[in-house]
Homo-oligomer: A and B are copies of this chain.
Amino acid sequence: MKIISGGVCAAKGFKASGVHCGIRKNRTKKDLALIYSETIATAAATYTTNLVKGAPLTVTKNHISDGKAQAILCNSGNANTCNANGIEVAEKMCELLAKELNVKANDVVVASTGVIGQPLPLEPIEAGVKPLVEALSVNGGDDAAEGIMTTDTVKKEIAVEFEIGGKVCRMGGIAKGSGMIHPNMATMLVFITTDAAISAEMLQKTLSTDIKNTFNMVSVDGDTSTNDMVTVLANGMAQNKEITTEGEDFDTFMKALNTVNVYLSRMIAGDGEGATKLLECSVNGAKDETNAKIIAKSVICSSLFKAAMFGADANWGRVLCAIGYSGADVDVNKIDVSFRSAKGTLDVCKNGAGIEFSEEKAKEILLEKEIEILVTAGDGDGKAQAWGCDLTYDYVKINGDYRT
């Protein structure tokens, strides 16, 4: 497995583009993105568990119920959620694009992100689909990654190359996500493309399995969005023997997908709204994986701990506190905690009680951009990782007046 460039266009037969069509006021910000496969692709997706669901999710679910899709259309600046005409608008978006691409509207995946509860006007999209399709290019991955950003400060893309049955396969992904991030069964917006051949059933299985250890272990602010969605298109152009059962090829594909998803999960967490640091909590020795996950996620979700990390304050008591209220089955008297970064590792708690440590060393470690919180539970061999970010002035600033 090697990391390559090209993002969502790295796999054979995929093109992408991004333009400004006018949904956002700021003309320098792209607000419409397209990913297109030359041939019809196998499709799989997972969606938010929020009862309030964006209209595009309902339309997409319907469109890929046959396990097939050929294009992904996504706008930023408006979530098309909690609007009376949301479904109608999402369907119309697919029709407009389908006509321009000469594909079936039923083969279009549609997604929206931005403000909730403001009707999404069709005019900018009507005007935008033509230039969007004209701009399609194998170098368009960057533009598409930009077109789906909201409060994101960096583009999030990755691609990997791997081999299945002697055939070179590629997989690439882009993501957006910065606030309202606490996915449950699905996540933010992530679009993944691959030229590997895999059945719809196996594709859905790999995705549904992997997100539990990747996107569902990310939290920026504890708010599960109404529009979370991860979609994978696999067009089979790598010409490997189609993966139709579990086995060696399935495992290789899973590993590629996991590499892409862990990378994007870390990028999303590290680019959390206002974040200055990526927090990675690694739990070992929990009773089982479920308890390890509960512990890891509780730590990276604690507002108090997140604020302490912003201040580079080694307040490990808040880690213990978050473990204590997490609901995990854990013996708090057996917990060890260490902080680790590029500057070294520091033990701060043994068997649930504080130990002496150098505050200077702690500061040095915690002033880094990526902080690992190592929790050892001493209860078994369950392990898990979760990703989050610090809580900063800028989170408050960004969200104190998001709509204007």
Give how many A residues have a beta carbon under 8 Å from the other chain's beta carbons: 64
Contact status B402-A223, CB under 8 Å: no
Interface residues of A (CB under 8 A from B): 49-53, 79, 81-84, 115-119, 179-180, 182, 184, 221-226, 301-304, 307-308, 310-311, 313-318, 320-325, 330, 332, 349, 352-354, 391-393, 395-404
Please indicate the chain B residues that have their CB under 8 angstroms from the CB of A116 in the complex.
315, 317-318, 320-321
Contact status B313-A402, CB under 8 Å: yes
Given contacts A116-B321, A304-B223, contact A313 B403 (CB under 8 A): yes
Seed contacts A51-B324, A82-B349, A222-B303; 13 additional CB < 8 Å A-B pairs: A82-B317, A82-B353, A116-B315, A116-B320, A117-B316, A221-B304, A223-B304, A223-B318, A224-B325, A304-B399, A307-B395, A308-B402, A391-B399
Given contacts A116-B318, A117-B316, A323-B52, contact A180 B399 (CB under 8 A): no
Given contacts A304-B223, A307-B395, A349-B82, contact A313 B400 (CB under 8 A): yes
A180 nearest CB neighbor, chain B only: B304
Given contacts A311-B399, A321-B180, contact A117 B354 (CB under 8 A): yes
Among B180, B315, B325, B396, which residue has its beta carbon within 8 angstroms of that of A391? B396
Given contacts A179-B304, A223-B302, A399-B307, contact A320 B393 (CB under 8 A): no
Among B83, B182, B320, B399, which residue has its beta carbon within 8 angstroms of that of A117? B320
Contact status A117-B82, CB under 8 Å: no
Contact status A222-B222, CB under 8 Å: yes
Q: Please report the C-alpha to C-alpha distance between residue A395 and residue B404 in the assembled complex, in whole angstroms.
A: 23
Given contacts A221-B303, A303-B221, A303-B223, contact A82 B310 (CB under 8 A): no
Among B84, B226, B397, which residue has its beta carbon within 8 angstroms of that of A321? B226
Q: Please report the C-alpha to C-alpha distance between residue A182 and residue B392 in the assembled complex, in whole angstroms.
A: 20
- Number of identical monomers bound together in the oligomeric complex: 2
Contact status B223-A322, CB under 8 Å: yes
Please indicate the chain B residues that have their CB under 8 angstroms from the CB of A81 in the complex.
317
Chain B nearest CB, measured from A178 CB (Å):
12
Q: Please report the C-alpha to C-alpha distance between residue A324 and residue B172 in the assembled complex, in whole angstroms.
A: 31
Q: Please report the C-alpha to C-alpha distance between residue A228 and residue B311 in the assembled complex, in whole angstroms.
A: 25
Q: Please report the C-alpha to C-alpha distance between residue A401 and residue B314 in the assembled complex, in whole angstroms.
A: 9
- 29 pairs, CB–CB < 8 Å, chain A vs chain B: A52-B320, A52-B323, A52-B352, A82-B317, A116-B318, A116-B320, A116-B321, A118-B354, A180-B318, A222-B302, A223-B318, A223-B321, A223-B322, A224-B321, A224-B325, A226-B320, A226-B321, A307-B395, A307-B398, A307-B399, A308-B400, A308-B402, A310-B396, A311-B399, A311-B400, A311-B402, A313-B402, A313-B404, A395-B396
Chain B nearest CB, measured from A132 CB (Å):
26
Contact status A225-B310, CB under 8 Å: no
Chain B nearest CB, measured from A324 CB (Å):
3
Among B51, B301, B307, B400, which residue has its beta carbon within 8 angstroms of that of A310? B400
Q: Please report the C-alpha to C-alpha distance between residue A397 and residue B393 in the assembled complex, in whole angstroms.
A: 8
Contact status B117-A324, CB under 8 Å: no
Q: Please report the C-alpha to C-alpha distance between residue A50 and residue B316 in the assembled complex, in whole angstroms.
A: 16
Contact status B354-A82, CB under 8 Å: yes
Instruction: Pick from A51, A318, A353, A393 the residue with the most CB of B within 10 Å.
Output: A51
Please indicate the chain B residues that have their CB under 8 angstroms from the CB of A313 in the complex.
400-404
Please indicate the chain B residues that have their CB under 8 angstroms from the CB of A321 in the complex.
50, 52, 116, 180, 223-226
Among B184, B315, B318, B323, which residue has its beta carbon within 8 angstroms of that of A325? B184
Q: Please report the C-alpha to C-alpha distance between residue A82 and residue B315 in the assembled complex, in whole angstroms.
A: 12
Contact status A402-B84, CB under 8 Å: no
Given contacts A116-B317, A397-B393, contact A51 B304 (CB under 8 A): no
